[in-house]
Amino acid sequence: MKRWGFILVTAAVSLPVWGADQPLVLASQGSFFVGGETKTSPTLGGPGAAGAPAAPQDVTINQMYVQYQKPVNADRHVPVVMVHGCCLSSKTWETTPDGRMGWNEYFVRKGRSVYLADQSSRARSGFDATVINAVKSGAAPPSQLPNIFAASHQTSWTLFRFGPEFNKAFPDEQFPVQAADELYKQMIPDLNGTLPTPNPTLKNMAALAVQLKGAVLIGHSESGFFPEEAALEDPSGVRGIISIEMGCPEKKPDELAKLAKIPILIMFGDHLGDVPGRFANTWTTNFDTCQKFVGQVKQAGGDAEMMSLPAMGIKGNSHMLMQDKNNLQLADLILGWIDQHVERTKSARR
């Protein structure tokens, strides 16, 4: 192969690598799938044959698409897996709606290998469309169609706590509301209603952590408690758990005992009780369930921390805090927590 296409990389001194104005140096990048099973589908025969092909054929379902970037010297830190919430894709973690650096790149620039997963049934992971074609052809009743969720502009604004009512922002709002239209483009239909129980994403996250020989799992909103659930499926690869803005379901003592072996960070933003109407109690209730969960994990001997941003003097953060104007400040809090609770633990064990 010809050796052309050279770039001269010269640096007399060490370069600060976190700035968006600095080149990003990757040891490697790529994408792959975790999980997935073959299903013989009566309605998915191939292009041009929707509805009822001649014979049932095989498709792959429940796989999880993962895109990764590794910095140079990636082995100094534990890899980080980021999983998005409802009605969103991994775009969540990338360039913010107003065009700033997302957590995905910032974490890489801070020396972490980052793995972005599209939830099974969402975005590049695909979904099982069998039943939709079956209903179209009359082979199944409309009631069997999945519930498809989408977050409207109106719902996003208030549920994500940009302000007290649609198109009115809180005075100290950290979400870049002038770019809300760009967030709305990220909101895509949620087809988790097509998935079996338990959600394959949980098993896939646990398997990815094993494949990486240890990883910190980060979930947000719909997927906020997925790291805990993944660890309950298989804790062997889960080195740390970061859960952002979700409800914490009641866990049994044996489950709490398992989770108490893994450092857990929970993070909530501001204005939890400041949205009137349909979502008035959503966030305060979620916060309370997680506060209780943190207490229970601690009681079981675990290392769990509730990081309430306003309680730390960091005001105005929305539900989409990885996109908020102070998103890199919050990333630093998380990176610091990983250093202290996940990686120091590793050294201590040696």
Work out whether 94 is an interface residue with its own copies (CB under 8 A). Answer: yes
State which of positions 100-119 bind its own copies (CB under 8 A). Answer: 101-102, 105, 109-111, 118
Question: Cβ of residue 299: shortest distance to its own copies, in angstroms?
Answer: 32
Q: Which is nearer to its own copies, 73 or 197 (CB)?
A: 73
Q: Which is nearer to its own copies, 104 or 317 (CB)?
A: 104
Q: Which is nearer to its own copies, 32 or 213 (CB)?
A: 32
Q: Which is nearer to its own copies, 70 or 262 (CB)?
A: 70
In the DSSP assignment, the letter for residue 247 is: -
Residue of 346, 267, 350 lying closest to 79 (CA atoms)? 346
Which residue from 95, 284, 291, 345 is in contact with its own copies, where contact means CB under 8 A? 95
Residue of 18, 226, 216, 222 lying closest to 102 (CA atoms)? 18
Query: How far apart, in whole angstroms, are the C-alpha atoms of residue 233 and residue 21?
Result: 41
State which of positions 170-199 bind its own copies (CB under 8 A). Answer: 181-182, 184-190, 193
Q: Is 256 left (phi over 0), alpha (psi -120 to 50) or beta?
A: alpha
Task: Give phi and psi for 329, each to the nearest 5.
Answer: -60, -40
Task: Spell out the residues 6+ positions from residue 283 whose beta carbon is closer than 8 angstroms to its own.
Answer: 161, 245, 268, 271, 272, 273, 275, 319
Question: Cβ of residue 270: shortest distance to its own copies, in angstroms?
Answer: 21
What are the angstrom distances between the C-alpha of 163 and each of 74, 81, 275, 276, 316? Answer: 40, 30, 7, 10, 10
**Contact mark string toward its own copies, 22..51, x via CB under 8 A:** -xxxxxxxxxxx--x-x--x--xxxxxxxx
HEC per residue, 64-132? EEEEEEEECCHHHCCCEEEECCCCCCHHHHCCCCCCCCCHHHHHHHCCCCEEEEECCCCHHHCCCCHHH
State which of positions 212-241 bind its own copies (CB under 8 A). Answer: 222
Question: Cβ of residue 2: shortest distance to its own copies, in angstroms?
Answer: 8
State which of positions 122-161 bind its own copies (CB under 8 A). Answer: 123-127, 129, 132-133, 135-136, 138, 142-143, 145-156, 159
Which range binds its own copies by CB under 8 A, 16-24, 209-217, 238-246, 260-268?
Answer: 16-24
146: tokens are: 């999945």
Which residue from 79, 82, 83, 91 is in contact with its own copies, where contact means CB under 8 A? 91
Query: How far apart, in whole angstroms, are the C-alpha atoms of residue 210 and residue 282?
Result: 34
Q: Which is nearer to its own copies, 151 or 300 (CB)?
A: 151
Question: Cβ of residue 62: shortest distance to its own copies, in angstroms?
Answer: 10
Which residue from 82, 83, 86, 259 is in contact with its own copies, where contact means CB under 8 A? 86
The alpha carbon dihedral of 320, 323, 324, 328 has a sign of positive
Q: Which is nearer to its own copies, 50 or 210 (CB)?
A: 50
Task: Report whether 119 contacts 221 (CB < 8 A).
Answer: no
Q: Which is nearer to its own copies, 188 or 210 (CB)?
A: 188
Task: Report whether 268 contacts 292 (CB < 8 A).
Answer: no
Question: Cβ of residue 128: shortest distance to its own copies, in angstroms?
Answer: 8
Residue of 187, 180, 226, 183 lying closest to 203 (CA atoms)? 226
Query: How far apart, in whole angstroms, are the C-alpha atoms of residue 241 and residue 227?
Result: 6
Work out whether 75 is an interface residue with its own copies (CB under 8 A). Answer: no
State which of positions 294-333 bind its own copies (CB under 8 A). Answer: 328, 332
The amino acid sitting at 62 is: N
Which range binds its own copies by CB under 8 A, 86-94, 196-204, 211-219, 292-300?
Answer: 86-94
Question: Cβ of residue 298: shortest distance to its own copies, in angstroms?
Answer: 30
Question: Cβ of residue 243: shortest distance to its own copies, in angstroms?
Answer: 18
State which of positions 54-73 bind its own copies (CB under 8 A). Answer: 57-60, 63, 65, 67, 71-73
